[in-house]
Amino acid sequence: MEALGTGWPALRLRAWLVALRPRTLLLGLAPLAPAWAAVRAAGGELSFGTAVLTLAAVVAIQAGTNLVNDAGDWRRGADGPARRGPPRAAASGWLSASALDRAAALCFAVALVAGAALARIGGWPVVVIGAAAVACGIAYTAGPRPIAYGGGGEWLVLAFFGPVAAGGAAYLHDGALHGAALAAGVMLGCLAAAVLAINNARDAPTDRAAGRRTLAVRRGPAFARAQIRALLALPFGIALAWAALTAAAAPLPALAAAPYAGVLAARAADARDGAAFNALLRSTIGLNAAVAALLAAGIGWLG
């Protein structure tokens, strides 16, 4: 059991922050900015209430998924002493798996309440997206065949942290599918998938021992690094294709982040230990946020 802090309140607060992983919430929030910019660029009106409900649903689903993951990996022995990533609350003995389960249930309940309100606005497409997001959040690490223990996690993240989130967030405001929101979503989904690919490359040795069959485990470290580099590069290829095919300037500001993505790709090629992968993971989350802001600015100002 690792030391956490001094004093009961500080210990409990930090334990819950570790379990919730606030930094990862940025991955779910990032697609909303370019989605809302696309609505405005198309002449639509944004509803403050709808935006707040969307934020609540996104944060609640992501938080619930993180809590389920913490408890689920502990139950399956994936977060043992050899873990190379940041500490986890259940494995470190800071919170019980049952407490994490209850908190996750509360998060998903909040998501369902917000989702019910959003369904009144967006209709059955919102019901389908919301139900699928909650189901995947639970099944990612729980149940007899967790998604995270197979090879499809990156594809799931690319979809739900990308075009599904961006397209759905825009649709809620004017009932239309916006090409700019979907294209921006694919770009951001690639970067979110890169974060998971970095996580899986880092954890491959312990995942193999725990029975996780991620792509990094199945295909080996060379493939894992190539996958990370590809996912870091793809968004900028998409931006160039988007601009060339539509004669739109909207994606061009995002290219300002391409040199930094190149730096991270080089670091991915050299990463070997947990510290290097953890720093790369944090930087990629930052890159995702920066690209989201640049896309929102480009879509909003350049259309």
Could you read off the pLDDT of 273-297 as tens digits, one per residue? 889 999 999 999 999 999 999 999 9
Indicate whether 7 pLDDT > 60: no
- The band of 4, judged by pLDDT with boundaries at 50, 70 and 90, is low
pLDDT in the model for residue 9:
61
Q: How many other C-beta atoms can be found within 10 angstroms of the C-beta atom of residue 81?
A: 6
Contacts from 175-179 at CB under 8 Å and sequence distance 24+? 175/122, 176/42, 176/44, 178/35, 178/38, 178/39, 178/42, 179/246
Percentage above 90 pLDDT, the chain = 77
What's the pTM? Answer: 0.93
Half-sphere CA count of 239, side-chain side, radius 13 A:
24
Two structure tokens written together for 85: 């990533």
CA 212, 25, 289, 193: dihedral to nearest 10 degrees? Answer: 20
- The band of 138, judged by pLDDT with boundaries at 50, 70 and 90, is very high
Give the residue from 78, 84, 90, 82 showing the smallest Cα distance to 213: 78
Contact 73, 88 (CB under 8 A): yes
122 or 3: whose pLDDT is higher?
Answer: 122
Residues 77, 215, 163, 260, CA torsion sign:
positive
Q: How far apart are CA 158 and CA 146, in angstroms?
A: 17
Could you read off the pLDDT of 48-87 as tens digits, one per residue? 999 999 999 999 999 999 999 999 888 887 676 667 878 8
Indicate whether 1 pLDDT > 50: no
Lowest mean pLDDT among 70-74, 75-79, 172-176, 266-270: 75-79
Q: What are φ and ψ of residue 137, in 5° steps?
A: -60, -40
